[in-house]
């Protein structure tokens, strides 16, 4: 019971204390043997009433043989970085109030693979520490440029299954404020140096 699978409008998670035996149960183990019916007595014995009611409210359809992952935030039930970001902002609140909203709207409209958008978003949100190639593997924390100057950070990612390289860049000002960003993809096999060089071309 460690995955979100309920249809409840409040939460898809089984929100109840669970011992190890219940935590490791599969949904199928809550059904009657060899049938598409809930084992109501078992469910009522294992879970608090409100959770048991949420479980019993999930319909079991004979026409569906296999489960699949869905994302409730999109009509087509497919995950996107944009909807994931919106959900995170609703649940956790905005991370910073000094960043204008408009540039983020531009970011989501970029025509690029979701992975490339996610990479660019991470660059802009300062989520990518820079690993120094030293024996101690020291991480350098991003620092804004001097006042009156701009700093451009770049990164590249590789999609081996597509034979492609994606790259992104982000410009920030002296106070760390977002100025401009972009990304692109090239269907060629490149190394990391070539990919990052293309980002600042």
pLDDT tens string, the chain, 201 residues long: the values are 566 667 665 666 676 666 667 777 788 888 888 888 889 998 888 888 888 888 888 887 776 667 777 777 888 878 888 888 888 777 766 555 555 555 566 667 777 787 777 777 777 666 555 554 444 455 567 888 988 899 988 888 887 777 788 888 888 988 888 888 888 888 877 777 777 777 777
Which pair of structure tokens corresponds to residue 103? 């540039």
Question: Is residue 160 within 8 Å of 195, Cβ to Cβ?
Answer: no
Q: What is the rounded CA–CA span in Å between residue 162 and residue 189? A: 9
Nearest to 28 by CA among 38, 18, 19: 38
Nearest to 107 by CA among 181, 168, 177: 181
**Separation in Å, CA 67 to CA 50, 61, 63, 177:** 24, 11, 11, 44
**Separation in Å, CA 171 to CA 65, 107, 125, 145, 180:** 50, 13, 12, 10, 5
This prediction's pTM: 0.38
The residue ranges of every structural domain in the chain are: 1-68, 98-199
**Quick one: 120 exposed, middle or buried, by C-beta within 10 A (0-12, 13-18, 19+)?**
buried
3-state helix, strand, coil in the chain (%, to 5): 30, 15, 55
């Amino acid at each position: 019971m460690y995955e979100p699978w309920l249809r409840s409008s409040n939460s898809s998670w089984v929100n109840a204390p669970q011992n190890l035996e219940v935590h490791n149960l599969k949904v199928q183990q809550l059904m009657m043997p060899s049938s598409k019916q809930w084992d109501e007595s078992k469910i009522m014995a294992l879970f608090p009433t409100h959770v048991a009611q949420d479980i019993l409210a999930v319909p079991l359809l004979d026409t569906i043989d296999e489960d699949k992952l869905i994302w409730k935030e999109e009509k087509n039930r497919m995950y996107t970085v944009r909807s994931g970001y919106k959900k995170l902002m609703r649940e956790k609140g905005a991370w910073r109030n000094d960043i204008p909203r408009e540039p983020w709207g531009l970011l989501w409209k970029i025509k690029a693979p979701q992975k490339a958008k996610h990479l660019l978003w991470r660059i802009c949100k300062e989520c990518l520490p820079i690993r120094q190639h030293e024996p101690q593997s020291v991480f350098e924390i991003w620092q804004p440029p001097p006042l009156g100057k701009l700093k451009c950070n770049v990164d590249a990612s590789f999609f081996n299954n597509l034979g492609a390289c994606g790259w992104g860049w982000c410009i920030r000002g002296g106070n760390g404020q977002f100025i401009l960003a972009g990304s692109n993809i090239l269907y060629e096999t490149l190394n990391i140096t070539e990919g990052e060089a293309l980002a600042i071309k």
